[in-house]
Amino acid sequence: MRWRAKTLMAWVAVAMLGGFVAPHAAAAQSASNNVGIRLLDAPVNRADDPRARVYIVDQLDPGASIHRRIEVANATSDRLTVQLYAAAAQVEQGEFKPLDGHTANDLSGWTTVTPSSVDLAPNTKTIATVDVAVPPDATGGERYAAVWAELPPTQSHGVTSVNRVGLRMYLSIGGEAEPASDFAVNDLRAGRDSAGHQLVTAAVTNTGGRAVDVAGQLSLARTGLNAGPFSSTGAVTLAPTQQATMSIPVRPQVSRGPWNATLTATSGNLSHTASGRLLFIGAPHNAVPGDYGWLLWLLLAVPAALIIVGGILVVLQRRSRIPAASGGVSAR
């Protein structure tokens, strides 16, 4: 199915960002499985937050510092030289977006990765450290960056390709207490994508003071029938006050409804639900929808019935004329 192919392509694209795959992923691999990177340490005070076991997530005062260990793995049969560094990122349009190359911002400038380069034998791993030192005069707010493990660029047909995997960094600065994280999910809608495939959308709003990565699971129910759960196409990442649309593809075998829908959305240890009654209106662009099969049969049956009825009337009319003609002949 086209939507499955698009979903797979989207996951491959985020897999190129390694730890950016999903909040529940424990390790990250590049799309070509050349090099992997994962976080080994998490703050004790975030033991119940799944995001802190995958990403570097913390709250620091100006002048404070943190120390994290990461593991870098060579999953190939070749010896690899891997560059390790931090670079800027931003959150917009529902995505965590790393900036090109070694673009810097406050957080990447405060971050040092040691060593900055590792030489890995085939199928081996090594440990590096990530140190973040916040200057005493740092202003409050949340910053975003990524720690990258990058292979040397490759050339093909005049095009230079960069193969790197990374771990997200979410660092909040200042304040006696860390801003609370929260989000809202509502406005469930049934629709179709540009290819005519069924999907459900929901509005997700960051109502807290920290960035959130929100993924969803959709369940559909009607009398005597259940469908799902169906997963959202990755996680929606939102900075404070931001809003974006979450999309959940629904298998084409699922009838148009109506359905009682329940969406469970999670970010770390936060969870919220939204519900609604949904009906998939319209039809796929490239197929005859099952729910309109009765219409196809009707379009075929009506002309056939008219032909049959017409044939019967013609036969009856001919039979009625034959006796009338015979009765008009005089016997001799």
Dihedral pair phi/psi, residue 27, rounded to 5°: -140, 160
Beta bridge pairs of residue 66 = 132
C-alpha R_g of the chain? 31
pLDDT value at residue 257? 83
pLDDT over threshold 60, residue 290: no
Give the residue, 289 or 225, on which the prediction is more confident: 225
pLDDT value at residue 28? 41
pLDDT over threshold 50, residue 327: no
pLDDT over threshold 50, residue 19: no
pLDDT value at residue 193? 86
pLDDT over threshold 80, residue 18: no
Point out the least confidently predicted range of 23-27, 43-47, 105-109, 316-320. 23-27
pLDDT value at residue 292? 45
Give the residue, 217 or 161, on which the prediction is more confident: 217
DSSP state of 50: G
Domains of the chain, each with CATH number or no CATH: 2-173 (2.60.40.10), 183-278 (2.60.40.10)
CA-nearest of 236, 230, 232 to 250 is: 230
pLDDT over threshold 90, residue 91: yes
CB atoms within 10 A of CB 13: 12
CA-nearest of 74, 204, 61, 211 to 145 is: 211
For residue range 117-136, list pLDDT tens digits in order: 999 999 999 999 999 999 99
pTM over 0.75? The answer is no
Give the residue, 245 or 330, on which the prediction is more confident: 245
Mean pLDDT calculated for residue range 82-105: 95
What is the spatial distance between Cα 325 and Cα 313, in angstroms, rounded to a whole number? 19
pLDDT over threshold 90, residue 298: no
pLDDT over threshold 60, residue 10: no
- Quote the mean pLDDT of the chain: 81
Give the residue, 26 or 221, on which the prediction is more confident: 221
Mean pLDDT calculated for residue range 299-325: 62
